[in-house]
Amino acid sequence: MYLEYWGLERFPFDNVADPSFFYLSESHEEALSRLIYASEMRKGGAMLTGDIGCGKTLIGKVYTEKLREDGFEVGLLLNPPLGPVEFLQEVLYEFGITELPDSKTKLLQILQKRLIHNMEQNKETVIIIDEAQILNEETFEEARLLLNFQSNNRFLVTLILLGQTELKVKIGQMKQLDQRIAIRYHVHPFPLLETIKYIMFREKKAGLRRNVFSTRSMKTIYEYTRGLPREINSVCDLSLLIAFSKNRELIDSGVVRSVIGELGR
């Protein structure tokens, strides 16, 4: 609606996990580095947590793309099923196996053969579970048992858990799984300076040749959103729309405050 008015090629603040809009903040860079380290060094288990809207899913997608570019076989579970059998079926389906038995024993046999085959082909295997906090204890145990697939000196699979802050509590209550998590990191919201850089980064990525948010408006956005990317996107997108409807050339703090009033959160 407002693309032509602002000279944009695409919407800069859509709340979708688009890797082309990945902004490498200090916290996001650290998160990505730790995940890469966990998979390249075959550390077994790793966990990435963060508040709702901090960018975990996007980090997971960027991480997945890098792994596949580097020749890893990756199973990315974005909406993990709750039951152990369905969980194993989903993992195998992500690996391109479509004939899936209902027997857990047979599913594990198929998975073990795949992992051994990958090892023999010098291909690493990674399973990434997004929104892992929704898994029940029985399925968490099934996930933990995947780390029992080992050769004499290495894990055959790396298990990556992505989830909200409550995931840390859940894992802490399951000592056997907790002990298998070698790498962990909590993603933090942006500070003020990173929030400003993030807004300008996404504008430029979408084709804008100038920053249309005033400094004061970006500070107001930070104060309201607490530096959470998803909240920043929501405020910025609506601000662009309202400023367009009022024929504004610059988005000032008054426009942002009116958006915040409409959002009412």
Q: Tens digit of pLDDT for each residue in 178-225?
A: 999 999 999 999 999 999 999 999 999 999 989 999 999 999 999 999
User: What pLDDT score was predicted for residue 5?
Assistant: 92
Query: For the chain, what are the domain ranges?
Result: 26-187, 190-263
Tell me the CA distances in angstroms from 67 to 72, 76, 152, 165, 247, one per residue in order.
5, 11, 24, 25, 45
- SS3 at position 163: strand
- At 88, the pLDDT band (50, 70, 90 cuts) reads very high
Q: Which CATH number among 3.40.50.300, 2.30.29.30, 2.40.50.100, 3.40.1380.10 corresponds to the domain 26-187? A: 3.40.50.300
Cβ-based neighbours of 10, under 8 Å, separated by 6 or more: 3, 206, 207
> The domain 190-263 is classified under which CATH number: 1.10.8.60, 3.40.50.1820, 3.30.470.10, 1.10.357.10?
1.10.8.60
